[in-house]
């Protein structure tokens, strides 16, 4: 594939993302009053051309027990039951409460907010990928946190602690885990967590495996629990 084709594909993706973001920003915010709307202005984000100013991230690490996830478990994989992310924990029940949640790369915090619903405290971080990688950027959602150590507008480094594993303020009591999602564009919002439509959502473990810099090719050490191994682990169904 020629570089011009790649350039046009990236340009098309950006125009699409920009269109979506402006449309989203202009749309009436009809969310229920109990659910605060996202604080970041995607219109400002694009107007200020923030993304090209962000550091390029290539050496991605695991969000729990970085860099390789040794000692972490996946209790609900991507797309199982329509899951749009992965559930990670380091212990059964609520024993993972307080486990550090780390940024998977060098990025920029777009949202750090308590949504006071089943998502609890949520962080969105934007990561700009190296030239030639696709997509040009990803947005990662870290959800159901107990603590949040960053605020919107912060720059974070790969492996930096940004919060801790929670249970969404007790909504998932006895099921503490990190629900995290990787999106191929910005501004998809909180989302549903589960859906038959996965457009925009990427497999988190596959993303990590493909963007690990010097560790690419070295397997992740996180253990994926089989369905018959998940009793007592935090899952959402
Ligand atoms: Zn989940």
CA 169 / ligand 1 centre spacing (Å): 15
CA 39 / ligand 1 centre spacing (Å): 23
> 141: closest CA among 90, 94, 99, 83?
83
CA 81 / ligand 1 centre spacing (Å): 10
Domain enclosing residue 97, as ranges: 2-27+38-229
**pLDDT given for residue 30 in this prediction:** 44
Alpha-carbon distance of 103 to 180, in angstroms, equals 11
CA 158 / ligand 1 centre spacing (Å): 22
Could you tell me the CATH number of the domain that includes residue 95? 2.70.70.10
CA 112 / ligand 1 centre spacing (Å): 18
| Residue that is written with structure tokens 């963007």 in the block | 211
Alpha-carbon distance of 201 to 127, in angstroms, equals 15
Cβ atoms of 101 and 142 closer than 8 Å: yes
Q: Which residue(s) pair with 101 in the sheet?
A: 163
Number of structural domains found in the chain: 1
**pLDDT given for residue 3 in this prediction:** 55
Is 94 within the bounds of a domain?
Answer: yes
Cβ atoms of 57 and 105 closer than 8 Å: yes
Alpha-carbon distance of 90 to 72, in angstroms, equals 5
CA 96 / ligand 1 centre spacing (Å): 15
Q: What's the average pLDDT block by block, 10 residues per block, for the chain (237 residues)?
A: 52 49 44 46 71 87 97 96 96 96 95 91 94 88 97 92 93 92 88 92 96 90 95 77
């Amino acid at each position: 594939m020629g570089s011009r084709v790649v350039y046009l594909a990236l340009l098309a993706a950006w125009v699409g993302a920009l269109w979506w973001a402006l449309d989203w920003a202009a749309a009436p915010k009809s969310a229920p009053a109990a659910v605060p709307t996202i604080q970041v202005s995607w219109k400002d984000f694009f107007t200020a051309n923030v993304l090209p100013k962000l550091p390029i991230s290539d050496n991605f690490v695991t969000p729990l027990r970085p860099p390789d996830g040794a000692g972490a478990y996946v209790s609900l994989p991507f797309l199982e039951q329509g899951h749009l992310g992965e559930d990670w924990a380091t212990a059964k029940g609520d024993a993972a409460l307080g486990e550090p949640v780390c940024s998977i790369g060098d990025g920029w915090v777009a949202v750090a907010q308590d949504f006071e619903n089943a998502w609890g405290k949520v962080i969105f971080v934007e990561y700009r990928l190296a030239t030639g990688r696709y997509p040009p950027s990803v947005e990662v959602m870290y959800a159901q946190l107990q603590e949040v150590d960053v605020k919107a507008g912060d720059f974070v480094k790969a492996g930096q602690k940004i919060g801790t594993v929670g249970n969404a303020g007790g909504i998932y009591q006895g099921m503490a885990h990190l629900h995290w999602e990787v999106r191929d564009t910005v501004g998809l919002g909180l989302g549903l967590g589960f859906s038959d439509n996965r457009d925009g959502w990427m497999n988190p473990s596959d993303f990590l495996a493909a963007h690990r810099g010097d560790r690419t090719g070295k397997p992740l050490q996180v253990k994926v629990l089989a369905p018959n191994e998940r009793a007592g682990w935090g899952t959402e169904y």
